[in-house]
Amino acid sequence: MCTVTCIASINIAVIKYWGKRDEVLILPVNDSISATLDTDHLHAKTTVMTSSTFKEDRIWLNGKEEEIKNPRLQNCLTQIRKRARNSNQWKVHICSENNFPTAAGLASSAAGYACLVVALAKLYQIEDDITSIARSGSGSACRSVMGGFVKWCMGSESNGADSIAKQIVPASHWPEMRILILVVNDTKKKISSSIGMKRTIETSDLMQHRIKHVLPNRIKIIEQAIIEKDFKTFAEHTIKDSNQMHAVCLDAYPPVVYMNDVSHTIINFVHAYNEAVNEVKVAYTFDAGPNATLYLLEESVPEFMGVLDHFFPPGINLEQYRKGLTFKEVINS
Ligand code: PMV
């Protein structure tokens, strides 16, 4: 019997992957960039085991047995077995657990597939790039295979061989960077990212503008900002990219809506805070759900958390916020 256990964390994109040029191979229409969280926070933990006594491949997610025939899971298993360096022909049992809500727009599939592929690659002794295998499970999973800031290069080959993720910098490059996740709603999202992407690419006119005229330059700028640790530029492009992803979603027909009133309140709150302190200290970004992820530097955390607690205490009254309490008063008091 052979057993391997791995942990992989979620990643939060600052330049969003939104839209596929190949639905089967999961090839994106643009490069994307994300940061992978430390493994002690939101993560998936996966154990893979092979044994001569196992009669079939099986998988358990969060304690419940799931369908092993899931096509994306089968894609990963087939590719792993094709590239195996050892001659292990035994069936595999997979047990995976998330320490956070699944499918709530918190990138659970990214952590899950990255973890599965890393664990299987160890079991089958695969040493070369495995990000393309993780990609075939869930696109953004390829970025969770590595830590720090990671770029998923869309690639140009039709078989997807060059659609792989590469680390831009390790986490130690920018140790002051902090991520706060504000969970607005942790229930399963209504429109999956796959359906949302398909509808956007098929029906949104704005999407072409994003892909052709905005992203190529934005990718270069934000990559440079990460390398130079230029928080202001990093934050502005993170914010704009999140807003543009949700704008193209809204431009789809019928519109794809992921954010809710609380999400928009958080957006207003962050802009009001940055204005009040006269500096871009906090960036927000939203994936395919209403939850906000905030990027900020460690030095900004205590003050920002204080203001956040003041305006969003347990049982928050959003009406009061909308009436326009000013942040300057709170910060100066
Ligand atoms: O990898 P998927 O299919 O879960 O899509 C992820 C899409 C976003 O999270 C919205 C953006 C991204 O780049 O992670």
Sheet with 43-51, edge to edge strand ranges: 2-9, 43-51, 91-98, 58-61, 64-66
Residue 4: phi and psi, rounded to 5, are -135, 135
Is there an atom of ligand 1 within 6 Å of 140 CB?
A: yes
One domain, residues 159 and 182: no
Q: In terms of domains, do 73 and 209 share one?
A: no
114-168 pLDDT per residue, tens:
999 999 999 999 989 999 999 999 999 999 999 999 999 999 999 999 999 999 9
- Looking at the structure, do residues 114 and 213 belong to the same domain, yes or no? no
Q: Tell me, yes or no, whether 12 and 155 share the same domain.
A: yes
Are 38 and 171 in contact by the 8 Å Cβ rule? The answer is yes
> pLDDT digit string (tens) for 260-272?
998 999 999 999 9
Number of domains present in the structure of the chain: 2
| C-beta of 144 in contact with ligand 1 (< 6 A) | no
Measured in Å, residue 318 CA sits from the centre of ligand 1 at 29
Q: Is the CB of 256 under 6 A from ligand 1?
A: no
- Overall average pLDDT of the 31-41 stretch: 91
The pLDDT of residue 235 is above 90: yes
- Parallel, antiparallel, or unpaired for β 20-22 and 43-51? unpaired
Which ipTM value was assigned to this complex?
0.99
The CATH number given to whatever domain includes residue 191 is 3.30.70.890
- Residue 26 gets the label, from left (phi > 0), alpha (psi -120 to 50) or beta, of left
| Same domain (yes/no): 128, 219 | no
Indicate if 96 and 212 belong to the same structural domain: no
Q: Which of 117, 147, 170 is the last residue of a domain?
A: 170
242 close to ligand 1 (CB < 6 Angstrom): no
- Does 31 contact ligand 1 (Cβ within 6 A)? no
Check whether residue 214 and residue 324 sit in a common domain.
yes
Name which of 77-91, 97-111, 250-264 the model is least confident about: 97-111
Q: Kindly report the CATH number assigned to the domain that includes residue 74.
A: 3.30.230.10
Of residues 76 and 186, more confidently modeled: 76
Residues 153 and 189 in one domain: no
Range of the domain at 84: 2-170
Residues 281 and 325 in one domain: yes
Q: Does residue 244 have its Cβ closer than 6 Å to ligand 1?
A: no
**Of 102-111, 142-151, 272-281, the least confident:** 102-111
For ligand 1, the distance from its centroid to the CA atom of residue 254, given in whole angstroms, is 20
- The answer on 187 and 163 residing in a single domain is no
